Chain A
Amino acid sequence: MPDLGFDIAHMLAGSLVLVSLMMLYQDRLPALINVFAVHAMLLAGSVAWQAYVQDEPQLYITSAIALGFKGVMIPMALRRIIFRLGIHREIEPVVSTGLTMLAGMALVALAMVVMLRATPEATPLAREDLAFALSVLLLGLLMMVSRRNAVGQVVGFMSLENGLILAATGARGMPLVVEISVAFSILIAFIVIGIFLFRIRERFDTVDVQVLDQFRGERP
């Protein structure tokens, strides 16, 4: 029996994974930020759909946070930062697009195998949401390790958080405590990042993490 609710949820969660993969090969920062904005908006759509399907009105708040805060405000702030730092034209050497994409595909496959095997009893929607969420999480992690630039790492971290929210909303009836706290923690995390970015700029005039590595504490 065709089930529209399931299909739409599936499509939205699946597109999140696709956009995560797209983020992997963006080598210019403004483009990366744009793709991240799309990622956050898709998440907002997915969460809103879950709110409707599960009849959990409080999830709309989570969706609104994803849309307004992560889809609009943070990309704007990040864009302002990179323009002010003058790094918007730089091409960031990603490890190697082909290699990263291969690793990304392997991670998605891993997530599917692990989650679909482990959850035979859960509802199909919850299972697939969880599998997609784990893929997004692992792709975010891959992005964090393959980027040298601090802004790139931050975007990777936020896409990882998006995966977590997808998982949390996919779990039926998970108490609101968690959703609000997730939103809060992202907020706090971003304040932290903001402070760090500004301090880093102040001190080094660069946000390239490889330059930071020169200041390793362990010198002869």
Chain B
Amino acid sequence: MNLSVSLILIFAIPAGAAAVLALVPGYRLSSRINMFASLMTLAAGVSLFFIPAHTDNYLLLDDLNIVFIVLNSFVGFTTSVFSASYITHELDTGRLTPAYLRFYHAMYQVMMFGMNLALIANNIGLMWVAIELATLATILMVGIYRTHEALEAAWKYFILGSVGIGFALFGTILVYMAAQPVVGEGLPAMVWSVLVARAGDFDPALLNIAFIFLLLGYGTKVGLAPLHAWLPDAHAEGPTPISAVLSGLLLNVALYAVLRFKMLLAANTGALAPGPLMMAMGLLSLIFAAFMLYRRRDIKRMFAYSSIEHMGIIVFAFGFGGPLANFAGLLQMTMHSLAKSAIFFAVGHIAQAKGTQRIAEIRGLTASHPVLGWALVLGVVAIAGMPPLGVFMSEFLVVSSTFARESWLAIPLVFGLLVAFGALMLRLNGLAFGEAAGSTAKVKASYLPMFGHLALVLAAGVYLPPALVLWFQHVAGMLG
């Protein structure tokens, strides 16, 4: 078999699966199809490692996007496994009906289709369409419970998301305008690999404005601080598998788009340096979210703010640039995706077992549900950045590379990290330890996805395979 077919397969499988799932009535069958399709997508994603780099007018495969695609497909697959056990409980309690589940599964694959297409697109117009599609699918899923809160969250997400989408498209058009005099009219002026090769000749002023719009537009999706308002609501009110993929994946895809345009700007010597802008937004997100963590009463909302905090760190690291900081940013992104989705898997089952998402009503989890409780402890310890877990290592790298070059910038960074650490530990203490409160009913949970993720995070903290290190170093070099 010609392996380069897998370039197409990574988005063709989800698209086909979405069509099939829209027609299959039974939810047991469709959750299996969902898992199977996600597994096949993962297989296609992994097979990308074995084919040579590829560039044409629509698709692009280089060392940078393989990392994103494999991470995306992997978390997509584990979430589909978690989702299968999660929705069974939602059906039993009557929060969802079989008809909605059919819609839910189809939308899940539409979202995977959009994200994978965005990651492999070489055409900036195509990338925009794909991110837009993934966003629309998640908006529909956030509103699926049809409660007041869910509808409000979906509406807010829709309004803020559309403004972001509009800004991103305007930025895309401006990039085309900048490229058109140099590259010529038509398709090539929207092809990223062509743009980056000839970006040196573009009009810097136009590129600057384009980047501002793109950063604001896609930055809304990343959840950067002044534009983050949709994120906590969408995480808290949607089904938990969707919270996991929002935090673990969709934010990364938007970040990927920002990184591609950052590389474009870096190739033009006359344009403004994108780094300081990204660093400022990253630090603002980190410190703002760290303080917001203290006042949260809803458990999913709290972890949503923790996602804002981590995206802040990651954007800061990429904005800081240089081989070490980029390496740290990539590692932090991978670790955050794995750890945060594991936390959401645990939180989903906990909320089902306790029948509430309110932090005040969840206590003593390690006594009432030992396995879930300890999974949550492990996850929160990981996300807070305690050694020897992977997040500690990446955060340590971010801080040390900052300290080496711009030591005064390390002060707000470490301050934000410590504030967030304190908040998470404070809440974890109440959630996991002490007298058990609320229902102690057993819950049928799928432990494999969350412990799989946590094991990977632990393994990365103890030992990073040299092949992975080399790969990341190479990608870090590409990012400049």
Q: Which of A7-15, A25-33, A98-106, A159-167 contacts B (4 or more CB under 8 A)?
A: A159-167
Interface string of B153-165 (1 = CB under 8 A from A): 1110011001101
Q: Is A196 an interface residue (CB 8 A)?
A: yes
Which of A118, A178, A219, A220 is within 8 Å of B206, CB to CB? A118
Interface members, chain B 273-318 (any A CB < 8 Å): 296-298, 301
Interface string of B211-246 (1 = CB under 8 A from A): 000000000000000000000110011000000000
Residue of A nearest to B300 (CB): A217
Residue of B nearest to A195 (CB): B140
Residue of A nearest to B124 (CB): A178
Residue of A nearest to B188 (CB): A175
Interface members, chain A 170-220 (any B CB < 8 Å): 171-175, 177-178, 181-182, 184-185, 188-189, 192-193, 195-196, 199-200, 203-204, 209, 212-213, 215-220
Which of A115, A134, A196, A220 is within 8 Å of B151, CB to CB? A196
Which of A133, A150, A217, A219 is within 8 Å of B237, CB to CB? A217
B143 touches A172 (CB 8 A): no
Q: Is B437 an interface residue (CB 8 A)?
A: no
Give the distance to chain A from B113, nearest Cβ to Cβ, in Å. 14
Main DSSP-derived SS at the A contact region:
helix
Q: Is B170 an interface residue (CB 8 A)?
A: yes
Which of B123, B139, B159, B177 is within 8 Å of A177, CB to CB? B123
Q: Given A171-B173, A182-B169, A216-B152, decide whether A199 and B209 contact each other with a Cβ distance below 8 A.
A: no
A141 touches B163 (CB 8 A): yes
A189 touches B143 (CB 8 A): no
A217 touches B298 (CB 8 A): yes
Q: Given A121-B181, A153-B159, A212-B151, decide whether A160 and B176 contact each other with a Cβ distance below 8 A.
A: no
Q: Is A126 an interface residue (CB 8 A)?
A: yes
Q: Given A153-B159, A177-B123, A188-B136, decide whether A212 and B152 contact each other with a Cβ distance below 8 A.
A: yes
Query: Given the complex of chains A and B, what is the CA–CA distance between A22 and B203 in angstroms?
Result: 35
Which of B140, B153, B187, B205 is within 8 Å of A118, CB to CB? B205
Give the distance to chain A from B439, nearest Cβ to Cβ, in Å. 22
Which of B132, B154, B174 is within 8 Å of A196, CB to CB? B154
- Which A residues touch B208, using CB under 8 A? 118
Give the distance to chain A from B296, nearest Cβ to Cβ, in Å. 8
- Which A residues touch B206, using CB under 8 A? 118-119, 122
- Which A residues touch B132, using CB under 8 A? 181, 185
A217 touches B153 (CB 8 A): yes
Residue of A nearest to B129 (CB): A181
Other A-B pairs beyond A160-B163, A203-B146, 9, CB < 8 Å: A118-B206, A120-B205, A167-B170, A171-B177, A175-B190, A177-B187, A185-B129, A188-B136, A219-B297
A residues neighboring B (CB under 8 Å): 114-115, 117-122, 126, 130, 133-134, 137, 140-141, 144, 150, 153, 157, 160-161, 163-164, 167-168, 171-175, 177-178, 181-182, 184-185, 188-189, 192-193, 195-196, 199-200, 203-204, 209, 212-213, 215-220
Kindly list the 4 A-B residue pairs having the minimum CB-CB distance in the complex, ordered from nearest.
A173-B185, A215-B148, A118-B205, A181-B129
**27 A-B pairs (CB sep. < 8 Å):** A117-B205, A126-B177, A130-B174, A130-B177, A144-B159, A153-B159, A157-B159, A163-B170, A167-B173, A168-B169, A171-B173, A171-B176, A171-B180, A172-B185, A174-B176, A177-B123, A177-B129, A178-B190, A181-B129, A185-B165, A192-B136, A192-B158, A196-B155, A196-B158, A199-B143, A209-B155, A217-B237
